[in-house]
Copies of this chain bind each other. A is one copy, B any other.
């Protein structure tokens, strides 16, 4: 159910903090996420019932700073969580936020509204996520592996060009145009196509490779480069194709966040969205894990992204992770809410792809 949030690997020697430190760290993170202002000892004791005086809190905060859980922007400011502080919060302190029924409903309907097109469903999932989180959301369409072959259409365009449309149980899953060096005969193409459809229908795409295709087209031969291109399509090796199937949006939400008033960060993010590679990589990594992955600040590996965090989560087709989606926002994001939201969107997508076979 994608609820058992597994996150980034813990630093192996992450110690456990005592009860009072834990409580103070948690409160600081909570308050800072809520207000965006560095939080001081007085604020803390006034707003939250900690049972100790500001002076004690000060001492504890100083200790937490020494241990690297808190930062101090300058001497006379309050404390701000460090990456490590957020990490501790996310790994141990966070409690999942309950998503309101109307939001759950919105997610479901938005995704189902677009269910007729595979791409649209994922696109809508990304959209609804960016709207609900007021952050950047991104998502990638499912890998072909787990889908089952339904129909292949080879469409003759001219003697040297063939359009290919692959339909799986999930819908139109891939399409491309292939240029062949040798000439293709339209009738021959139709026969090969029918042959393949007869033999492959219902089969998992996982099992289809060059050898199998060559074998199946022995009696209804096709140009070698066409067969290879088809195999390439099935195994999704065509990188350019992959990129087009990543959806991202919500950049306009950035400007709400005070941390993005910095043009360096802003530019870094816009470039990230433009090139897509990094987003794609994050999602691929997420496929390796069960449940959500959270990356905080420097963990993203880019100095320009130090003020950002990313939450990613895979969704399933059949029983395997097939695609993923994520949210990119300020490091000071509402982790609890976002984790619940991405979880819910991922579940909805998984459910959609599970139910697809029957009308």
Q: Kindly state whether residue A358 has any CB partner on chain B within 8 Å.
A: yes
Q: How far is the CB of A238 from chain B (nearest CB, A)?
A: 11
- What separation, in Å, do the CA atoms of A358 and B116 have in the docked complex? 34
Q: How far is the CB of A276 from chain B (nearest CB, A)?
A: 10
Interface pair B249/A270, CB less than 8 Å apart: no
- Give the one of A150, A157, A179, A254 with max B CB within 10 A: A157
Interface pair B244/A270, CB less than 8 Å apart: no
Q: How far is the CB of A155 from chain B (nearest CB, A)?
A: 5
Interface pair A359/B163, CB less than 8 Å apart: no
Which of B151, B255, B273 meets A263, CB within 8 Å? B255
Which of B151, B266, B271 meets A155, CB within 8 Å? B151
Interface pair B249/A117, CB less than 8 Å apart: no
Q: Kindly state whether residue A351 has any CB partner on chain B within 8 Å.
A: no
- What separation, in Å, do the CA atoms of A273 and B274 have in the docked complex? 13
- Give the one of A120, A251, A357 with max B CB within 10 A: A251
Q: Kindly state whether residue A250 has any CB partner on chain B within 8 Å.
A: yes
- What separation, in Å, do the CA atoms of A270 and B161 have in the docked complex? 39
Q: How far is the CB of A255 from chain B (nearest CB, A)?
A: 5
Instruction: Please name the residue on chain B nearest to A272 by beta carbon.
Output: B252
In the complex, per-residue mask of A30-46: 1 if CB is within 8 Å of any chain B CB, else 0: 00000000000000000
- What separation, in Å, do the CA atoms of A250 and B153 have in the docked complex? 35
* A261 / chain B contacts, CB cutoff of 8 Å: 263
- Give the one of A151, A249, A250 with max B CB within 10 A: A151
Q: Kindly state whether residue A171 has any CB partner on chain B within 8 Å.
A: yes
Which of B117, B163, B240, B254 meets A171, CB within 8 Å? B163
Interface pair A274/B252, CB less than 8 Å apart: yes
Q: How far is the CB of A53 from chain B (nearest CB, A)?
A: 41
For chain A, the bracket of interface size reads 35 or more
Instruction: Please name the residue on chain B nearest to A171 by beta carbon.
Output: B177
Instruction: Please name the residue on chain B nearest to A256 by beta carbon.
Output: B267
Which of B175, B249, B357, B359 meets A172, CB within 8 Å? B175
Interface pair A165/B158, CB less than 8 Å apart: no
Residues 108 to 163 of chain A near chain B (Cβ within 8 Å): 116-117, 119-120, 123, 150-151, 153, 155-161, 163
* A161 / chain B contacts, CB cutoff of 8 Å: 116, 359
Interface pair A176/B267, CB less than 8 Å apart: no
* A358 / chain B contacts, CB cutoff of 8 Å: 158
Q: Kindly state whether residue A167 has any CB partner on chain B within 8 Å.
A: yes
Which of B116, B120, B271 meets A252, CB within 8 Å? B271
Q: How far is the CB of A298 from chain B (nearest CB, A)?
A: 22
- Give the one of A150, A160, A177, A240 with max B CB within 10 A: A177
- Give the one of A159, A167, A176 with max B CB within 10 A: A167
Interface pair B176/A116, CB less than 8 Å apart: yes
* A255 / chain B contacts, CB cutoff of 8 Å: 263, 266-267, 270
Across the A-B interface, the 8 shortest Cβ-Cβ residue pairs: A116-B177, A252-B270, A252-B271, A255-B267, A160-B359, A251-B270, A158-B359, A153-B153
Supply 25 A–B pairs (Cβ within 8 Å), ascending by A. A116-B161, A116-B177, A119-B244, A120-B244, A123-B244, A150-B157, A151-B155, A151-B156, A153-B153, A153-B155, A157-B171, A158-B357, A159-B359, A163-B167, A163-B172, A165-B165, A171-B177, A172-B175, A172-B177, A249-B274, A250-B274, A251-B251, A252-B271, A255-B263, A261-B263
